[in-house]
Amino acid sequence: MSADTLNDKYDFRDDGAFSPRNWTSGILTSYDSFKFALGYAEARVKIPAGQGLWQAFWLLNGYYVAQQPEINIMEARGSHPDLAYHTYHRRDNDGADLPQEQKITSYGTPRVGYSDAFHTFGVHWEHDRITWYVEGVQAHTYSDPDVGCQIMYVLLNLAVGGNLDEGRVPQPGSPLAEFEVDYVRVHQVTDTK
């Protein structure tokens, strides 16, 4: 299909309002290849430090129904790479946000933190419990009979900008930022309930 045909089909327009940015974001996702419910997900990653960077390893519901759960296994702000956020988000059956469950772990110095080397982050997701791990050590557990049990997929991304790092963007001339991924492993549990 030619570019002109695509433009006509999808009504893309160059109206002068768009201007290219000096940065871009990247994402890896299992959406088209693998989704699961209940089990253990782990990644060994090295995050970059730097203003305006937002790194994440998370699970997102595949079909946007009911609670629409989201499990953030690890999120980090580039301006504070010593802090990793471990969060459970969900909605009630009417689509209203419910209070999130969040724990923050810290490591190293504020300027370097988790960007010093590869680190392992994981989550064990059960019917009534979510347990987060850092370097194989339990960091936080959330228990509730209403923990979401929907089909989820895995995402790893390095966003540039966004609201987690207070809307900052990298300074002009900032070095290339890389979110390095050594491995991602997912073990799905056979549901016995």
Strands 129-134 and 119-125, by their bridges, are antiparallel
Domain 34-188 has CATH 2.60.120.200: yes
Q: What is the pTM of this model?
A: 0.84
How far is the C-alpha of 159 from the C-alpha of 182, rounded, in Å?
Answer: 19
Q: What is the mean pLDDT of residues 159-165?
A: 76
Residues 6+ apart with CB under 8 A from 35: 62, 151, 152, 153
- Report DSSP letters for 142-172, one per residue: EE-TT-----EEEEEEEEESSTTTTT--PPT
Domain boundaries, the chain: 34-188
Of the listed ranges 31-35, 130-134, 169-173, 181-185, the least confidently predicted one is 169-173
Examine the pLDDT at 124 and tell me if it is beyond 80. Answer: yes
Q: pLDDT band at 40, cuts 50/70/90?
A: very high
How far is the C-alpha of 176 from the C-alpha of 44, rounded, in Å?
Answer: 20
Tens digits of per-residue pLDDT, 41-75?
A: 999 999 999 888 999 999 999 987 777 889 999 99
- Identity at 66, one-letter amino acid code: A
